[in-house]
């Protein structure tokens, strides 16, 4: 199984590629607005993306979805509760950066004409990759993590990081909701689950149980 990542764009969002083997189809998880960076990651393993799973609607994770879809004619997936975010790149730029990005940069942010809807408990079997959808609202209303049970890997997006959790001070964020999602969906997973977050390094659930101050109350 190939699981590889590259940190892309201004805020170094992690884009992941998942495939059974080199030289075949693959799944992308998150699409920062840096299509050339995604191309480099894919071509490293001679892969062809057939699907894009977006953990949530923030521009650093889905802002490159339209460009990726045009490049590879892939199908995009997003929870419907985050459609409003994906369709409002200008509002996100103002909320995240105060509208201070260089001129023209905002033109890179665009959603596909249509996303396939993700739902809690869905099991996606795409290109030989089986991923379970865990709806984990809190960072955003439609945030989802993706669990590869066979590999013991959780793609946690901006829900859980090494040593921290996702922000809840942006539109649609809610701290109690995030912590309920953590308790109900993430904490029951095995200790040896590898956590691959939307920013920063990989970790394990066992380590986060011991060292992450936000998880101590759980």
The predicted model scores a pTM of: 0.95
DSSP string, 52-67: EE-SSS-HHHHTTHHH
Burial of 190 (0-12, 13-18, 19+ CB in 10 A): exposed
Domains of the chain in start order, with CATH, are 2-215 (3.60.15.10)
Task: Give me the tens of pLDDT residue by residue for the chain, a chain 218 residues long.
Answer: 999 999 999 889 999 999 999 999 999 999 998 999 999 999 999 999 999 999 999 999 998 998 899 899 899 999 999 999 988 877 787 777 676 664 545 455 666 768 999 999 999 999 999 999 999 999 999 999 999 999 999 999 999 999 999 999 988 999 999 999 999 999 999 999 999 999 999 999 999 999 999 999 88
């Amino acid at each position: 199984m190939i699981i590889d990542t590259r940190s892309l764009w201004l805020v170094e969002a992690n884009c992941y590629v998942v495939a059974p083997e080199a030289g075949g189809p693959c799944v992308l998880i998150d699409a920062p607005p840096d299509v050339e960076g995604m191309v480099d990651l894919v071509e490293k393993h001679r892969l062809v993306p057939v699907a894009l799973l977006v953990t949530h609607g923030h521009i650093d994770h889905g802002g490159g979805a339209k460009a990726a879809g045009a490049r590879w004619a892939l199908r995009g997936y997003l929870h419907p509760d985050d459609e409003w975010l994906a369709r409002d790149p200008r509002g996100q730029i103002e909320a995240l950066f105060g509208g201070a990005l260089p001129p023209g940069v905002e033109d890179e942010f665009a959603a596909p004409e249509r996303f396939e809807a993700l739902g809690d408990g869905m099991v996606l079997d795409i290109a030989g990759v089986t991923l379970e959808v865990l709806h984990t609202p809190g960072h955003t209303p439609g945030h989802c993590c993706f669990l590869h049970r066979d590999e013991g890997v959780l793609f946690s997006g901006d829900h859980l990081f090494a040593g921290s959790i996702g922000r809840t001070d942006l539109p649609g964020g809610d701290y109690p909701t995030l912590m309920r999602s953590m308790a109900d969906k993430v904490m029951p997973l095995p200790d040896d689950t590898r956590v691959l977050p939307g920013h920063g390094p990989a970790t394990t659930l066992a380590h986060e149980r011991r060292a992450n101050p936000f998880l101590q109350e759980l």
